Amino acid sequence: MRLFPASLAGRTVLLVIAVIAVAEIATFSLLGHFRRSSHVNQTVQLIAGQVRLLQVVLPGLGDDARQALSAADAGEQGLQLRPDGSGVPTHQPLFPFARRLAKDLTERLGEPVLLRHGGPGQRSGLWIGFMAGNERWWLLLPPPRFEPQALPSDLWWFLALTLAAVLLIAGLFVHGIVGPLARLGDAVAATGDGAARTATPEGPREVRRLAERHNTMLGQLAAAAAERREMLAGLTHDLRAPLTRLRLRLALLTGDQQGSGDCAGLVRDVDDMERIVGQCLAFLRSEHPEGAALAPLLIATLLQEAVSRQRELGRAVELTVSAAAAQCRVAMTPGNLQRLLDNLIDNALQHGAPPVEVQLVRDSAGVVALRVRDHGPGIAGADRGRALEPFAQLEPARATDGSCGLGLAIVRRIVTGCGGELLLADAPGGGLEVLVRLPAR
């Protein structure tokens, strides 16, 4: 069970709420203590003044005057005078107000005072006994004068508005901290997915520095990637010249009957080497330059041309284009579309089985779906993720047939550069189905 929110914003807001709650509790405690102390002091001053006055006046009054004085009704908030024996309760109160009142009155009057109450749960007045001459008299303090008093409603509204204002200010500060962090996190996640994205330095100083270092890292990665592409492109291009010379020399040796078997094997090796070099060049050329705009093209027309070229080579390729997809356009260069289809068909024929079925449809979400399926053994679900990685060889035997494991990696790079999605699945009836989803323009 998690006690705290997972997000930084949630934890920060929780911290602010906790701090405000502690501050409010402390404020209420101080207000309550001040109100209770002030109320006790005022009550002590009132009762002490009344007792001193009565101690002077009562001994000189006659019986009629005393009865009239004790019978007078001081109202719900005032003190009432009662003679001893006039229904005084016997319970000694122990609640905090009574103890504090007895202590302060004793100190103020210089003599002990008696307190009596109706008992727990009884809403009766507080009886305060004092001596006037040789007689004991009682002052009756009504309940509204000593019961705990609620805070004024205006104070509650003020505290509520203060809490709302503090939460609003805290929310603005949290948004100013978490917002730049969230955008930086999105930029880092996009970079990890292969779509490098810079982050705008904003927010607190530490977040700005982190965004600047992220942008610096992107520049360094881009420079390293450009250097790698240039090196690999030059290497694969330079390899074609000696391969061509080697093929020419092998062609001159084919007339030698003694070495014809060896020459045939060497020719196959040269073909495999040329195929590997071609795949490496296609992999490098399939990368979409950062910041370059892609012009939308009519995918159905170029797809039919690409399939026609495959059929001219004698390959069993079948094409189906739905009416809804016939006029769809996608952001892809003609060269990349040809590389995409050639690699899918080559992969299907080399590792699957003919015929290869190509289908182009458009779904209700405005996405163009290109399906290419074969009738071979397919790829196990656990190996499909690895099959999309560059230079991945699912079977060791594939490394000896002129393949370097770049076919599906080239397709994924092209599809990702167009903002699409590449999925591998089992085809109905057996075989592998490669689904390419591209946003329609």
The pLDDT confidence band at residue 258, using thresholds 50, 70 and 90, is very low
Quickly tell me which residue has 């939308």 as its tokens.
Answer: 296
pTM of the model: 0.44
By DSSP bridging, strand 135-141 and strand 80-83 are: antiparallel
The pLDDT confidence band at residue 312, using thresholds 50, 70 and 90, is confident
3-state secondary structure of 294: coil
> Alpha-carbon distance 128 to 43, whole Å?
12
Output the pLDDT for position 280.
Answer: 63
Quickly tell me which residue has 């003694």 as its tokens.
Answer: 258
| Mean pLDDT of all residues in 137-153 | 72
Looking at the DSSP bridge assignments, the partners of residue 116 are: 127
| Mean pLDDT of all residues in 37-41 | 83
| Mean pLDDT of all residues in 134-159 | 75
Output the pLDDT for position 144.
Answer: 65
% of the chain residues with pLDDT over 90 = 0
> Alpha-carbon distance 350 to 432, whole Å?
12
The pLDDT confidence band at residue 404, using thresholds 50, 70 and 90, is low
* Amino acid found at 38: S
| Mean pLDDT of all residues in 212-241 | 74
